[in-house]
Amino acid sequence: MRDEQITAALLDWYDRHARVMPWRVGPGERRAGVRPDPYAVWLSEVMLQQTTVAAVRDYFRRFTARWPTVGDLAAAEDGDVMGEWAGLGYYARARNLLKCARVVAGEHGGRFPDSRAELLKLPGIGPYTASAVAAIAFDRPETVLDGNVERVISRLRLVETPLPAAKPELTDLAGELTPVERPGDYAQAVMDLGATICTPKSPACGICPWREPCLARAAGVQADLPRKAPKKAKPVRYGIAYLARRADGAWLLERRPESGLLGGMLGWPGSEWGEAPEEAPPVAAEWQDVGAEVRHTFTHFHLRLALRVAEVPEGVRPERGSFLPRDRFRPSDLPTVMRKAFDLAATARRD
DNA sequence: AATACGTGGTT
DNA sequence: TAACCAAGTAT
């Protein structure tokens, strides 16, 4: 099967099976002349970095409802954007999202650059996202290489080199199949294929548009590709978080430093997270031990977070953090681990 | 090149 | 239950 036929077979499949997404201009619409909004494409692509479509859907809708244009987002308060991103994870994305919006609004007249090279210069836009926005929003013949494409191409071409060493080779192989016509549809088609047919564990080869040319399937090794280096075990870290409620219902919270874990997000003041944390109460009070701990897993460690709660009178001055009035505190503004702590403390207080 | 960086669904 | 995995980027 020639490369052009392989490409055509996938586009043909995409025309019939493209998934519907709030940010996507489907193949039919595109054919009718509808062009995607680059802002929507960029926003969705950043949200989709290492994140499932299901998790992104509602966040995308809330963001675009609240900030319909890149100019609106650029003018937003940092805390509002971080709060709206809360729960989606990888919070550097939200910080870079704002930086990027402000560069586009301030230095590019509110229009996203339409070339991969220019997009690559923007904060939070790396090789994948630059190609994705160039291809999907501007129909540039750029090649996307994400986890889906790595899997699909390593199987199609029987690439046995383990990741991430195989990336350059996979980039070349993927590039050979990228068409000059409909590159935006093609980019989305390969990713849809990887997400729905050519899945990690049990690929549905029987209904795959590439079942004939697929070398891994011919060899019967499709489920073993791509090869990857084994992952390191996650250590367990321990920490203590302090939830202080003032008599008027305000909660003691702090804005975390801009860099590092949960950077820029709201959180409960607490100890360091390590082997044996020391008590670090942010305000003098009668702290009560909550008889349960939050268990939460981050990318590279497991956390067991002990909780202390206290009721404090109005007028106290905390050593760390500041009191957020009851009507300005939304638990949904917290990153998940901090929201878990709030939920658990609330449950324990009722018991 | 290797590591830091979240979370929730699936197996 | 625990490992695996998802439309990666920055350093």
Please say whether the beta carbons of A279 and A240 come within 8 A: yes
Residue A314: per-residue pLDDT:
95
Return the CATH number of the domain spanning residue range A236-350.
3.90.79.10
Name every residue whose Cβ is closer than 8 Å to that of residue A161 and which is 6 or more positions away in sequence: A169, A227
From the CA of A266 to the C1' of C9: give the distance in Å: 22
Q: Which two tokens stand for residue A213?
A: 């040319």
pLDDT at A231 over 90: no
Q: What is the mean pLDDT of residues A53-61?
A: 96
Active site residue A45: yes
From the CA of A147 to the C1' of C11: give the distance in Å: 21
> A296-332 b/e with 16+ CB inside 10 Å = b?
beeeeeebebbbbbbebeeeeebeebebbeeeebeee
From the CA of A260 to the C1' of C11: give the distance in Å: 12
Residues with CB under 7 A from strand B: A 50-52, 54-55, 87-92, 201-202, 232, 260-263, 296-300, 335-337
Positions of chain B reached by protein Cβ under 7 A: 3-9, 11
Alpha helices in chain A (DSSP H): 3-17, 27-31, 38-47, 53-66, 70-74, 78-85, 92-107, 116-119, 127-138, 147-156, 167-177, 183-196, 215-219, 336-350
**Percent of the residues in chain A that have a pLDDT greater than 70, as a whole number:** 99
Q: Which residue is nearest to nucleotide C8 (CA to C1')?
A: A49
Residues A3-224: name the CATH superfamily.
Hypothetical protein; domain 2 (1.10.340.30)
Positions of chain C reached by protein Cβ under 7 A: 3-10
From the CA of A332 to the C1' of C11: give the distance in Å: 30
Question: Domains of chain A: which residue ranges?
Answer: 3-224, 236-350
Nearest nucleotide by C1' from A263 CA? B5
Strands A322-324 and A266-267: unpaired
Beta bridge partners of A307: A241, A290
From the CA of A238 to the C1' of C2: give the distance in Å: 19
Q: Which residue is nearest to nucleotide B9 (CA to C1')?
A: A52
Nearest nucleotide by C1' from A149 CA? C7
pLDDT at A219 over 70: yes
pLDDT at A57 over 80: yes
Residue A232: per-residue pLDDT:
87
Catalytic residue chosen out of the listed positions A4, A45, A84, A272: A45
Rounded CA gap, A33 and A21, in Å?
18
pLDDT at A43 over 70: yes
Residue A47: per-residue pLDDT:
98
Amino acid at A25: V
Q: Which residue is nearest to nucleotide B7 (CA to C1')?
A: A89
Residue A226: per-residue pLDDT:
95
Residue A351's pLDDT band (cuts 50, 70, 90)? low
Residue A349: per-residue pLDDT:
67
pLDDT at A134 over 70: yes
Residue A111: per-residue pLDDT:
98
pLDDT, averaged across chain A = 96
The gap between the terminal CA atoms of chain A, to the nearest Å, is: 67
Residue A264: per-residue pLDDT:
97
pLDDT at A230 over 90: no
pLDDT at A68 over 90: yes
